[in-house]
A = this chain, B = another copy of it.
Amino acid sequence: MDIDLVKAGFTKYLKQGNYRITPERFHVLDAVLCFDGHFDADELYLRLKSNDIRVSRATVYNTLDLLQECGVVAKYRFGDNHSRYEKTFGKPHHDHLICLQCGDIIEFVNRKIETVQEEVCLENNFKPQSASLQIFGVCAKCRQQ
């Protein structure tokens, strides 16, 4: 809930990695935090633009990568040809049901999935950093028709 905490975390991450603190990076961060739900790089770029904040696409992409690395945003790749992002702040880890008919994306949380994933990692001596599960199919709405 505390946006300043996220900013502080990002600042720390930048300093640790010897990245510079630039206004553009924080403009992108602000926009990300305002965005509810999924968005792609271009949507974010356009939103910044419409708020009269001049940041180039290149910087948006660059900053989104940084934000992903430090865990502020999650990057997803569903069926189509571009990446979608989402702030992870204030949200528990969740996965996605993707409707192949209407394109809707439904989020769900399931503790058991996490548990099983941890098991698998242990078995394989694999150190997990992030995970994503997508189930493709037909959603409840479309099934009614």
Residues of A within 8 A of B (CB): 77, 95, 97, 99-100, 106, 108, 110, 112-113, 116-117, 119-121, 123-140, 143
> How close is A21's CB to chain B, nearest CB, in angstroms?
26
Q: For the complex formed by this chain, how many copies does it contain in all?
A: 2
Residues of B close to A135: CB separation below 8 A = 117, 120-121, 126, 128, 130-131
> How close is A145's CB to chain B, nearest CB, in angstroms?
12
Check B110 against A97 for contact (C-beta < 8 Å): no
Q: In the complex, A92 Cα to B138 Cα: how many Å?
A: 23
Residues of B close to A138: CB separation below 8 A = 126-127, 129
Closest to A78 in B: B77
Of B97, B99, B119, B140, the residue contacting A120 (CB under 8 A) is: B97
Closest to A128 in B: B137
> How close is A77's CB to chain B, nearest CB, in angstroms?
5
Residues of B close to A77: CB separation below 8 A = 77
Check A110 against B106 for contact (C-beta < 8 Å): no
Check B136 against A133 for contact (C-beta < 8 Å): no
Residues of B close to A132: CB separation below 8 A = 133-134
Q: In the complex, A108 Cα to B128 Cα: how many Å?
A: 14
Q: In the complex, A143 Cα to B130 Cα: how many Å?
A: 16
Residues of B close to A128: CB separation below 8 A = 135-137
Residues of B close to A129: CB separation below 8 A = 100, 136-138
Check B131 against A106 for contact (C-beta < 8 Å): no
